[in-house]
Amino acid sequence: MTAIAKILEKHQPELLQDWLKEQKSSGIRLDLIRETDLQEQSRRFLSLLQHAVAGAESVENLPQSRLADLKGYLFEVARTRAIQGFSPSEVAMFIFSVKRPLFQRLRNEVKDQDSLFNEMWGATKLLDGLGLITTEAYQKAREEVISRQQEELLELSTPVVKLWEGVLALPMIGTLDSNRTQVVMESLLQRIVETGSEIAIIDITGVPTVDTLTAQYLIKTVTAARLMGADCIISGIRPQIAQTIVHLGVALGDVITKATLADAFIIALQRTGFSIHRKHKQGQNFGMNTGA
């Protein structure tokens, strides 16, 4: 039986107290976590550690099966701490801070220099490994948050709205990459079929930059819509973007482009045979007459 296992069996409550003191003195963010939670997490960690090292010949190179529970718990702890707003090093310090109280007890327990060294080396290796696991778990939790946000952004940013009978609009916001464009393209074409719209206006006011790839995607969408029998108008082209498109040598072909959504809407109304009149002072007509 190793000295660590003995300590964990006999002096666990004292070790827990020392460790909690150590954590507090190293400046744990008590504004982010409740003290009772901290106590519970520390207690649970020590009991799982005890379970893992109990009966082992040496704490160095413990088999994975013994560490599974402990690792699983650490993943959970690191995940909740990542959400609570701890930094990765603060999360890792949770594990590393147990070293001092543990080593002090080891020194009291083991008198022989050689075996003390062996015990400490084994414990260091084990705890370092566990510390790294928390960092890994922390990173994973962060990545999950990022990918979830990306997905949400994807869904949020591609609404297809109906402007008028037979006129759809697609206000695009944000940078266009291949993934997003695919979704945008499919939802637009699907809505064209559902609503039987003849005109679709793609408004790129919210697209910060247009490169060759983005232009390519736009042209593809317009071509696909044309194949289905609907016309596309691209609107919201800012002066900068118009310059970029020409400098890049992108051939927009016979795609109709307009500077503003309003201009595009007027064209769309013309095509569908509607006109707008303003009911203002008698006999006066300020509105745009776009009738056929």
Site of interaction with other proteins (CB under 8 A): 185-186, 189-190, 192-193, 196-198, 220, 223-230, 272-276, 291-292
| Distance (Å) of CA 86 to CA 23, 37, 59, 89 | 14, 14, 29, 8
Question: Which residues does residue 200 pair with via DSSP β-bridges, in sequence order?
Answer: 168, 232
Phi-psi region of 175 (alpha: psi -120 to 50; beta: other; left: phi over 0): beta
Q: How far is the CB of 269 from other proteins (least distance, A)?
A: 9
Judged by beta carbon, residue 222 or residue 237, the one nearer other proteins is 222
Alpha carbons 197 and 189: distance in angstroms, whole number: 10
Q: How far is the CB of 221 from other proteins (least distance, A)?
A: 8
Alpha carbons 112 and 220: distance in angstroms, whole number: 77
Alpha carbons 91 and 140: distance in angstroms, whole number: 13
Q: How far is the CB of 235 from other proteins (least distance, A)?
A: 21
Q: How far is the CB of 88 from other proteins (least distance, A)?
A: 43
Judged by beta carbon, residue 157 or residue 272, the one nearer other proteins is 272
DSSP, collapsed to helix, strand or coil, labels residue 168 as: strand
CB 154 within 8 A of CB 180: yes
Q: How far is the CB of 226 from other proteins (least distance, A)?
A: 6
| Distance (Å) of CA 196 to CA 163, 164, 187, 228, 274 | 13, 12, 14, 10, 16
Judged by beta carbon, residue 62 or residue 225, the one nearer other proteins is 225
Q: What sign for the dihedral angle of Cα 234, 239, 242, 244?
A: negative
Judged by beta carbon, residue 4 or residue 160, the one nearer other proteins is 160
Which candidate, 208, 189, 211, places its Cα nearest to that of 200? 189
Q: How far is the CB of 59 from other proteins (least distance, A)?
A: 58
DSSP, collapsed to helix, strand or coil, labels residue 287 as: coil
Judged by beta carbon, residue 116 or residue 288, the one nearer other proteins is 288
Judged by beta carbon, residue 143 or residue 186, the one nearer other proteins is 186
Helix axes 239-248, 212-228, angle to 10 degrees: 90
Q: How far is the CB of 213 from other proteins (least distance, A)?
A: 15
Beta strands of the chain (E only): which ranges? 161-164, 167-173, 199-206, 231-235, 256-257
Q: How far is the CB of 237 from other proteins (least distance, A)?
A: 22
Judged by beta carbon, residue 170 or residue 230, the one nearer other proteins is 230
Judged by beta carbon, residue 230 or residue 241, the one nearer other proteins is 230
